[in-house]
Amino acid sequence: MFEALEEALDLAGPERVILPFLMTDTSELLEAMPPSRTKHPQLRNAILSALGSTMTAPTAAESPGEDLSPSELRVLQFLPTNLSRPEIASQLHVSVNTVNTHVRNIYRKLDATDRTSAVRRAHELRMVGARPPHE
């Protein structure tokens, strides 16, 4: 049962298509699916939210930010600053290409389109503090 739902979420995920889920009222099935059983917890929660589900909000462990690698988390800590990508690379002693790759992955994993939305999402998930780490 969850396999078919996961396949539907796989198909809907890239474009975040939720209308078919709303038209068929899949709330009971989505609520029954443990968040750990899906690769798309954020999409699952968005659909449930649109359906007006009474489910509680996801915990930090269910959040997409949990999928960030340690290197991505290090880069994420610098995104709220005014540092450019080359300056972040210098601070972390990595190449600009490495920072660019991590930033792209962060955007994808946090479902963000730019630095501002990534930082906003990271704050919502309590993944960033007031200051970046200094090494």
What is the set of domains in the chain, with CATH numbers? 2-62 (no CATH), 64-124 (1.10.10.10)
Q: Where does 39-116 show beta strands of DSSP type E?
A: none
In tens digits, the chain (135 residues) has pLDDT values of 778 888 888 888 777 778 788 777 777 888 888 777 788 877 887 787 777 754 444 444 444 555 788 889 889 999 999 899 999 999 999 999 999 999 999 999 999 999 999 999 888 887 765 444 444
Cβ–Cβ < 8 Å for 96, 104: no
The pLDDT value recorded for residue 132 is 43
Query: What is the SS3 assignment for 13?
Result: coil
Query: What is the SS3 assignment for 6?
Result: helix
**d(C-alpha 21, C-alpha 8), whole Å:** 9
Q: Which residues contact 44 (CB under 8 A, 6 or more apart)?
A: 9, 30, 33, 35, 38
DSSP state of 64: G
CA of 97: how far to CAs of 88, 100, 107, 114, in Å? 11, 5, 15, 17
